[in-house]
Chains A and B, each alone.
Chain A
Amino acid sequence: MNLLEVKNLNVEFKILSGRVKAVNDISFNIAKGETVAIVGESGSGKSQTVLASLGLLSENGKASGSVKFEGKELLGLKTKELNKIRGNQISMVFQDPMTSLNPYIKISEQMAEVLTLHKGISKSKAIKQSIDMLDAVRLPDAKQVITRYPHELSGGMRQRIMIAIALSCEPKILIADEPTTALDVTVQAQMLELFKGLTKDFDTSLVLITHDLGVVAGIADRMMVMYGGRMVEKGSVDDLFYSPKNPYTYGLLHSTPHVDEPEKRLEPIDGLPPSLENLPNGCTFHPRCEFRFDRCFKESPPLIKTSDGRSNACFYDGILSKKDKNK
């Protein structure tokens, strides 16, 4: 069963020089209990896609299309109605654990607020439940920690608290936007293990937004690759890692250094990610693509689903390999 159904989502921002399209016709579903990664570089629209879904766009942003949670349309819903779902059924963990907590308020207050608001339980009960939740995210010495202020805690501890807050109402979907990017690698490993365990224990669906393919490989079931506001490829993690069909996915994989492989020359993608204000005509990736041909300059390839359950938005249907590029 699909918990979340996003259809033809578009996000536009008004800026001084006109309008910018940050997300262009994105559709996807999230099923119960699965972990889906949204992968892309800066400006690809991966964060805006989920922010738009939850009505969290900045004031100059406008979303159109449809986002349904358990059949209920979220776009255009009143804030009051939306607040019954946000933080309760769908919750979010942000990238920066340092700035996501209010520095003036004790951890206990910040954690209890979520529960008193959404579940209507008393504060003392809420604090007790919060301590249990901190234990669940394996924060040592939870009883002590909950009485402190955010600045007294390390980055890893704060991120655990953010995760605990996000999970405290037992949401059906947890959205994590670059949750480990600001953390050291040993702490990142702890967090990823934690996410894996928690999604299993609570049967929560996890939407993971990241630029790091290493993180995706270890945790996700499916992945979606975004570029210049569009979705370019979608499929199971194994399919996309071992036989990418879109030249951008292919390029991304070959740009990533592996720690377990001896030195070899990386194969970067030429050029730079596009500016959303000035997207190229035709396929947004064509200026950087090695496999482009006439059609790519004029038409934008639609995302087409193939029989094997994956989707790809590319006109080129040959083999992706450096050797074929000059054909």
Chain B
Amino acid sequence: MNEILLEVSDLKKTFAISGGVFTKKQTLTALEDISFSLKAGETLGIVGESGCGKSTLGRCILHLLEPDEGKVIWLGDDLTKLNWHKMRQHRKELQIIFQDPVASLNPRMTVGEIIADPLKTLIPELKKKQRQEKVLSMMKSVGLLPEMISRFPHEFSGGQAQRIGIARALITNPKLIICDEPVSALDVSVQAQILNLLRDLKDKFGLTLIFISHDLSVVRHVSDRIMVLYLGRIVEVAPSGDLYNDPKHPYTKALLKAVPIPDPKKAREKTIEGLAGEIPSPINPPSGCTFRTRCSFAEGKCEKERPIVEDIGRGRLVACHRWKDVS
């Protein structure tokens, strides 16, 4: 139906951890074997706990970090192979919204300058007046008042600052926006405003979104399809409803069980089969399936063989030797 905008294949990213005087250098594998594609108009949610590589993935796609291996094909061009100059031409199509709304705005620039900045650098041929018009119309779209244009970021609360960040991301008419925990720093009542805003803007501008978050309730709310990561690897990909109603991977299942439900009766009925233990260190991940140390389904095979990401039909992928026994 829709064209494929983005295709990521076999992406791998490692970080070197410099050793001290007596310790040797180590490598941390932040991402491994990440492959997926994204259709125009789709919202892909990426969830996982801290250290699962979700932010690194977002940054690798935008080439803000250079992946070690793999391809990021954006409308036919492999972004990992492009030089700085050519990448720049794509920048206006690919934008990002950051987690900390206030810290991600330059405190010495006015709101107008912040929002106009991408236009100045990426579409320099635009005249000053056109730029001003675009900024004002974008401010209106994200719910900022025109008189705010000459104010500075510190005068704004988190929710409003995030609106500025969204306006800055949208001003170049991008096709894809990567939202990296865009509402985590916001109060609940304001979080809902921003989620609704993102949804409206998506329809208005025909955007494709990658929505990165640790909060499964929020991700479910915005995504068409969801990818679950654990220790830098894909554990499951499924359409949003299917993932929540019928999780195939033991980790997804445990993760969903752990999410608190804001409904006292349901919350009391729910038995939390707490996932034992904590996330292992990505410097020294377990052999085979990285989840096996916390998995109640783990068996001998899981220790020896890493499960491949298997296509099980109906748009679902799962990486587990025993997924058939799980559900």
Known contacts A262-B241, A268-B190; A214 and B259 CB within 8 A of each other: yes
Asked if residues A185 and B255 are in contact (CB atoms below 8 Å), the reply is yes
Asked if residues B279 and A255 are in contact (CB atoms below 8 Å), the reply is no
CB proximity to B under 8 Å, residues A169-206: 184-190, 192-193
Q: Which of B160, B188, B199, B263 contacts A211 (CB 8 A)?
A: B188
Q: What would be 29 A-B contacts, judged by CB atoms less than 8 Å apart?
A: A140-B277, A185-B215, A186-B49, A189-B257, A189-B274, A211-B187, A211-B188, A212-B260, A214-B259, A215-B260, A217-B262, A217-B266, A218-B260, A238-B264, A238-B265, A241-B264, A252-B189, A254-B192, A255-B191, A256-B217, A257-B221, A259-B244, A259-B259, A259-B261, A266-B196, A267-B192, A268-B190, A273-B157, A273-B189
Asked if residues B254 and A184 are in contact (CB atoms below 8 Å), the reply is no
Smallest CB separation, B205 vs chain A (Å): 18
Asked if residues B279 and A218 are in contact (CB atoms below 8 Å), the reply is no
Smallest CB separation, B36 vs chain A (Å): 21
Smallest Cβ-Cβ distance to A268: which chain B residue: B192
Residues of B with C-beta under 8 A to A254: 192
Asked if B214 CB lies within 8 Å of chain A CBs, one says yes
Asked if B256 CB lies within 8 Å of chain A CBs, one says yes
Asked if A269 CB lies within 8 Å of chain B CBs, one says yes
Asked if residues B189 and A260 are in contact (CB atoms below 8 Å), the reply is no
Smallest Cβ-Cβ distance to A191: which chain B residue: B274
Asked if A1 CB lies within 8 Å of chain B CBs, one says no
Asked if residues A258 and B263 are in contact (CB atoms below 8 Å), the reply is yes
CA distance A259 to B267 in the complex (A): 12
Additional 16 contacts, C-beta under 8 A, given A192-B260, A257-B217, A266-B221: A184-B50, A188-B258, A190-B274, A211-B187, A214-B259, A214-B261, A215-B260, A217-B260, A217-B262, A238-B265, A256-B192, A256-B217, A259-B256, A259-B261, A260-B244, A272-B190
- A interface vs B, CB < 8 Å? 41-42, 140, 154, 156-157, 184-190, 192-193, 211-218, 237-238, 241-242, 251-260, 262-263, 265-270, 272-273, 288
- B interface vs A, CB < 8 Å? 49-50, 157, 159-160, 187-193, 195-196, 199, 214-218, 220-222, 240-241, 244, 254-268, 270, 272, 274-275, 277-279
CA distance A157 to B50 in the complex (A): 15
Known contacts A218-B267, A252-B188; A186 and B260 CB within 8 A of each other: no
Asked if residues A185 and B196 are in contact (CB atoms below 8 Å), the reply is no
Residues of B with C-beta under 8 A to A265: 196, 199
Asked if residues B263 and A241 are in contact (CB atoms below 8 Å), the reply is yes
Asked if residues B261 and A218 are in contact (CB atoms below 8 Å), the reply is yes
Asked if residues A258 and B262 are in contact (CB atoms below 8 Å), the reply is yes
The SS class assigned to the B binding surface is helix
Q: Which of B159, B187, B220 contacts A259 (CB 8 A)?
A: B220
Asked if residues B275 and A255 are in contact (CB atoms below 8 Å), the reply is no
Smallest Cβ-Cβ distance to B280: which chain A residue: A154
Q: Which of A41, A184, A186, A272 contacts B274 (CB 8 A)?
A: A186
Smallest Cβ-Cβ distance to B160: which chain A residue: A272
Asked if residues B260 and A188 are in contact (CB atoms below 8 Å), the reply is yes
CA distance A241 to B262 in the complex (A): 8
Asked if residues B255 and A217 are in contact (CB atoms below 8 Å), the reply is no
CA distance A268 to B191 in the complex (A): 8
CA distance A241 to B278 in the complex (A): 32
Residues of A with C-beta under 8 A to B241: 262
Smallest CB separation, B5 vs chain A (Å): 22
CA distance A255 to B221 in the complex (A): 12
Q: Which of B191, B218, B258 contacts A186 (CB 8 A)?
A: B258
Smallest Cβ-Cβ distance to A256: which chain B residue: B262
Residues of B with C-beta under 8 A to A211: 187-188
Residues of A with C-beta under 8 A to B49: 184-186
CA distance A172 to B217 in the complex (A): 35
